[in-house]
A and B are shown apart, each in its own frame.
Chain A
Amino acid sequence: MASLILMPALSPTMTEGTIARWTRNPGDAVQSGDVIAEIETDKATMEVEATEDGIFGKIIVDAGTENVAVNTPIAVLLEDGEDSSAADALLTGSSASSANVSSHNEPKADAPVAAAPAAKAIEAEKEWGPTRDITVREALRDAMAAELRRDEDVFLLGEEVAQYQGAYKVSQGLLDEFGEKRVIDTPITEHGFAGMAVGAALTGLKPIVEFMTMNFALQAVDHIINSAAKTLYMSGGQMGCPIVFRGPNGAAARVGAQHSQCFASWYAHVPGLKVVAPWSSADAKGLLRAAIRDPNPVVVLENEILYGQKFPCPEDEDFIVPIGKAKIEREGKDVTLVAFSIMVGVALEAAAKLAEEGIEAEVINLRTIRPLDTETIINSVKKTNRVVSVEEGWPVAGIGSEICTVAVEQAFDWLDAPPARVCGLDIPLPYAANLEKLALPKPDWVVDAVRKLFRD
């Protein structure tokens, strides 16, 4: 049967073009793939191919015609044995313009915009029994050691993690116990080793990638986001990426702007990633174990200043902290302070000062940044009617912005004052001791922010 040749779309955005010339004449035999015409757009000259075998029957749109819309019939293709009357019949037939036109499947306008499914409930943390005081550094090391023991597919790689025992001594003793197959010193090649680790994870291995600090992960951020976070989706669920990216995040002490940045909101932005930020030793041990076991890419934002601090940590060998669950570190009825990582300590100090003034602050340790435990935050805000977020990072589009939005969206009617943020100053972190101190949140900033909420 005769069929129509339509003006093709030859680029992602082409809507019309000019027929520059026909390269075949009516009566010519053509095969699928033969070039039959050239068309021009504002961007390019392109060739039009026959998509079926047949006889080039009739030209409908002459060479030189401009602004021919995509999908306009431009010629007729005849089957062997048909003559031009078949072309005429096709063109005069009532269904001419729709005959054999393969229609592009436009998304149905009335298709429901599927809403995000409700987050699965995460079990509350159980009681873990007796604790022992250990440093955050030891907690992280113990977590890795426990998981390395538990699963042969887990390995650690990064700069100075093996022989040197970790630039911050977090991987102390691991090389001795697990050997160089599983505790691997890398060259200084963040982009390369992160990509290599992601590739290994796509095959089912479970790498722990240590960045000497998260600042250097910027060189690897393409693999964290484009390769690790998105591949499961792009593969229709085939290619999971069980990997951990960890390292100290945020300001250390007097190391200047390039070595002092909080990346929480950067990674929190990305669907396909989980992000955790431990504060205490228990957080560090429990969250890192959960991160290593998680079948998804997890970014673990540690803090160098906390490494040497001691906190009680459950001794139970199975101790683990579920990802996605915040922890109320101090209960209170007057205001909710939402913090993560080192700022949990700042918020707790602020809460102690506020208590002296008769204000009982509830302090939430987020533990997980993504997925955010909005339930815990909102329940608290509904009780206290006031909320202040506390973070070390910059204010613009920060985690505080998200917390304030969540409070306004989900607890507007319970709020007695606008949500407030305490953040690091909106500047690259300075070196000078006095300037650095002035740039980072301290308990008094939190106290001031809370007082303001009660003043109006």
Chain B
Amino acid sequence: MDETASVPVKGNGPALAPETMKRAYKDMLLVRRFEEKAGQLYGMGLIGGFCHLYIGQEAVVVGLGLHMKQGDKSITSYRDHGQMLVAGMTPRGVMAELTGREGGYSRGKGGSMHMFSREKEFYGGHGIVGAQVALGTGLAFANKYRGTDEVAIVYFGEGASSQGQVFESFNLAALHKLPCVYVIENNRYGMGTSIERASASKDLSRNGAAWNIPGRKVDGMDVLAVHQAAQEAIAHCRAGKGPYLLEMETYRYRGHSMSDPAKYRARDEVEEMRRTRDPIETLKAEMAKWGIDPAEMKSIDDDVKAVIADAVDYAKTCPEPDPSELWTDILVEG
């Protein structure tokens, strides 16, 4: 088989163990509810500036997260809330950063687009489109330099996939056989520009072909398909075989950020996706098929709701950073 050929993974890959399905369901729901709340808090003026929601794309990060282990690193763009929650960062800390409070992951100095966790090996949160791809390649470089079998998961949009540094990174990663899973989240639009108008590449999963980076196009609306592809990609990287490219065909339901005129796509297109491809509904159906009790799902719903409500309370009541914070963290002392 031509390793670089794109093999669309059908949505009916091997089902996950029920416990894993429940975990995936819970994580996707956590991201969904978190983002809905973030949108609402934005409307209430509690969150300012740019705020990019992940709603619709949940299956991507959750499916990959199923195969990450302690020490694996991840990095993404400004559309980062989902990545952080799945990395194990607390909804409280993320939401409080969104509201610019001292209890936020960056103590209010980063905001929606810039959060990090050394502990959870989450490396941001980057506002420059494509920058995280070179940085993420460096995370993989560090794994290899230290001689571990840890991998780096590097998320970027299909818009970012046109950046020169993405191709520079592919070359570096292939040259050095770096354990780097590049995940293109192809949600079809970069702000208002559709992929057709932005890229002459008709199959982004082959964008690494010149460097023999194996690539796969994946139904990113189906967490089972993502799981299957992630398993293969991550195993490839852990085995020291070099980088791997996954193109996730996904969709964002909301605007690019909170100020999106939405003139570039028909409302029907969004509605159609929501109705027929929603990742959470799709998994729910699968879970029902495997006999998971709806009451259990309901109790997951309730748990998630409570976690989010708690995060919102915290983010609303947590104090703003002290003015002295202006001058800290500019340089490491010593």
The chain A residues found within 8 Å of chain B, CB to CB, are: 6, 8-14, 32-33, 43-46, 48-49, 51, 70-71, 102, 104-105, 107, 111-114, 116-117, 120, 155, 181, 186-187, 189, 191-205, 222-223, 226-227, 231-240, 242, 271-272, 274, 295-296
- Determine the distance from Cα of A51 to Cα of B312 in the docked complex, in whole angstroms: 12
14 A-B residue pairs with Cβ-Cβ distance under 8 Å, sorted by A, are A9-B42, A12-B48, A49-B36, A114-B323, A203-B138, A203-B139, A204-B142, A227-B126, A232-B330, A234-B124, A235-B114, A236-B105, A239-B118, A240-B332
If A203-B142, A226-B131 touch, whether A187 touches B107 (CB-CB below 8 Å) is no
Interface 0/1 of B66-109, CB less than 8 Å to A: 00000001010000000000000000000000000000111111
Q: Is the CB of A32 within 8 A of B328?
A: no
Chain B residues contacting A43 (CB-CB under 8 Å) are 259, 261
Chain A residues contacting B332 (CB-CB under 8 Å) are 232, 240, 242, 295-296
Chain A residues contacting B266 (CB-CB under 8 Å) are none
- Determine the distance from Cα of A114 to Cα of B327 in the docked complex, in whole angstroms: 8
- Determine the distance from Cα of A151 to Cα of B131 in the docked complex, in whole angstroms: 28
- Determine the distance from Cα of A198 to Cα of B329 in the docked complex, in whole angstroms: 17
Chain B residues contacting A44 (CB-CB under 8 Å) are 255, 259-263
Q: Is the CB of B134 within 8 A of A199?
A: yes
7 nearest A-B residue pairs (beta carbon): A199-B138, A195-B134, A192-B168, A8-B43, A11-B259, A199-B135, A44-B261
Q: Is the CB of A235 within 8 A of B115?
A: yes
If A102-B44, A272-B331 touch, whether A12 touches B106 (CB-CB below 8 Å) is no
Partner of A193, one of B125, B145, B172, B331: B172
Q: Is the CB of B328 within 8 A of A189?
A: no
Q: Is the CB of B326 within 8 A of A222?
A: no
What's the least CB distance linking A209 to chain B, in Å?
A: 11
What's the least CB distance linking A11 to chain B, in Å?
A: 3
Chain A residues contacting B110 (CB-CB under 8 Å) are 234-236
Chain A residues contacting B133 (CB-CB under 8 Å) are 195
Partner of B165, one of A33, A195, A234: A195
What's the least CB distance linking A231 to chain B, in Å?
A: 7
Chain A residues contacting B330 (CB-CB under 8 Å) are 232-233, 271-272
Chain A residues contacting B106 (CB-CB under 8 Å) are 234-236, 238
Q: Is the CB of A196 within 8 A of B138?
A: yes
- Determine the distance from Cα of A232 to Cα of B124 in the docked complex, in whole angstroms: 11
Q: Which residue of B lies closest to A186 (CB)?
A: B172
If A235-B114, A295-B334 touch, whether A191 touches B165 (CB-CB below 8 Å) is yes
Residue B162 interfacial (CB < 8 Å): no
Residue B13 interfacial (CB < 8 Å): no
Chain B residues contacting A227 (CB-CB under 8 Å) are 126, 128, 131, 135
Partner of B138, one of A117, A197, A240: A197
Q: Is the CB of A200 within 8 A of B145?
A: yes
Residue B39 interfacial (CB < 8 Å): yes
Chain B residues contacting A236 (CB-CB under 8 Å) are 104-110, 116, 329
Query: Considering the complex, which residues of chain B in the window 136-180 have a beta carbon less than 8 Å from any beta carbon of chain A?
Result: 136-139, 141-142, 145, 164-165, 168-169, 171-172, 175
Q: Which residue of A lies closest to B164 (CB)?
A: A191
Residue B40 interfacial (CB < 8 Å): yes
Q: Is the CB of A10 within 8 A of B42?
A: yes
- Determine the distance from Cα of A454 to Cα of B332 in the docked complex, in whole angstroms: 44
Q: Is the CB of B172 within 8 A of A199?
A: no
Q: Which residue of A lies closest to B118 (CB)?
A: A238
CB within 8 Å: A-B pair count: 210
Query: Is the interface on chain B under 10, 10 to 19, 20 to 34, or 35 or more residues?
Result: 35 or more
Chain B residues contacting A187 (CB-CB under 8 Å) are 168, 171-172, 175
Query: Considering the complex, which residues of chain B in the window 302-334 have a beta carbon less than 8 Å from any beta carbon of chain A?
Result: 316, 320, 323-324, 326-334
Q: Which residue of A lies closest to B108 (CB)?
A: A236
Q: Is the CB of B331 within 8 A of A45?
A: no
Q: Is the CB of A203 within 8 A of B329?
A: no
Q: Is the CB of A199 within 8 A of B141?
A: yes
- Determine the distance from Cα of A203 to Cα of B126 in the docked complex, in whole angstroms: 16
Q: Is the CB of B123 within 8 A of A202?
A: yes
- Determine the distance from Cα of A390 to Cα of B12 in the docked complex, in whole angstroms: 71
- Determine the distance from Cα of A187 to Cα of B128 in the docked complex, in whole angstroms: 23
Q: Which secondary structure dominates where chain A touches chain B?
A: loop
Chain B residues contacting A191 (CB-CB under 8 Å) are 134, 164-165, 168
Residue B294 interfacial (CB < 8 Å): no
If A187-B171, A203-B73 touch, whether A10 touches B131 (CB-CB below 8 Å) is no
If A192-B172, A196-B169, A226-B128 touch, whether A117 touches B259 (CB-CB below 8 Å) is no
Residue B199 interfacial (CB < 8 Å): no
Q: Is the CB of B117 within 8 A of A238?
A: yes
- Determine the distance from Cα of A70 to Cα of B138 in the docked complex, in whole angstroms: 44
If A44-B262, A102-B44 touch, whether A195 touches B109 (CB-CB below 8 Å) is no
Chain A residues contacting B258 (CB-CB under 8 Å) are 10-12
Chain B residues contacting A104 (CB-CB under 8 Å) are 44-46
If A102-B316, A231-B116, A234-B125 touch, whether A195 touches B135 (CB-CB below 8 Å) is yes
Chain B residues contacting A197 (CB-CB under 8 Å) are 138
- Determine the distance from Cα of A195 to Cα of B42 in the docked complex, in whole angstroms: 32
Query: Considering the complex, which residues of chain B in the window 220-243 have a beta carbon less than 8 Å from any beta carbon of chain A?
Result: none
Residue B18 interfacial (CB < 8 Å): no
- Determine the distance from Cα of A202 to Cα of B48 in the docked complex, in whole angstroms: 27
Q: Is the CB of B134 within 8 A of A33?
A: no
Partner of A200, one of B36, B105, B117, B139: B139
Chain B residues contacting A199 (CB-CB under 8 Å) are 75, 123, 134-139, 141-142
Q: Is the CB of A205 within 8 A of B145?
A: yes
Partner of A10, one of B124, B139, B145, B259: B259
If A200-B145, A234-B109, A238-B118 touch, whether A6 touches B261 (CB-CB below 8 Å) is no
Q: Is the CB of B259 within 8 A of A12?
A: yes
Q: Is the CB of B259 within 8 A of A233?
A: no
Excluding A6-B44, A51-B40, A191-B165, 11 further A-B contacts by CB distance (< 8 Å) are A11-B258, A11-B259, A32-B36, A46-B262, A181-B145, A223-B134, A227-B135, A232-B330, A235-B116, A236-B104, A238-B105
Q: Is the CB of A196 within 8 A of B172?
A: yes
Chain A residues contacting B8 (CB-CB under 8 Å) are none
- Determine the distance from Cα of A112 to Cα of B323 in the docked complex, in whole angstroms: 7
- Determine the distance from Cα of A295 to Cα of B334 in the docked complex, in whole angstroms: 8
Q: Is the CB of B323 within 8 A of A111?
A: yes
B106, B135, B324, B333: most-surrounded residue (chain A CB, <10 A): B135
What's the least CB distance linking A371 to chain B, in Å?
A: 9
Q: Which residue of B lies closest to A120 (CB)?
A: B333
- Determine the distance from Cα of A102 to Cα of B165 in the docked complex, in whole angstroms: 43
A8, A45, A236: most-surrounded residue (chain B CB, <10 A): A236
What's the least CB distance linking A41 to chain B, in Å?
A: 8
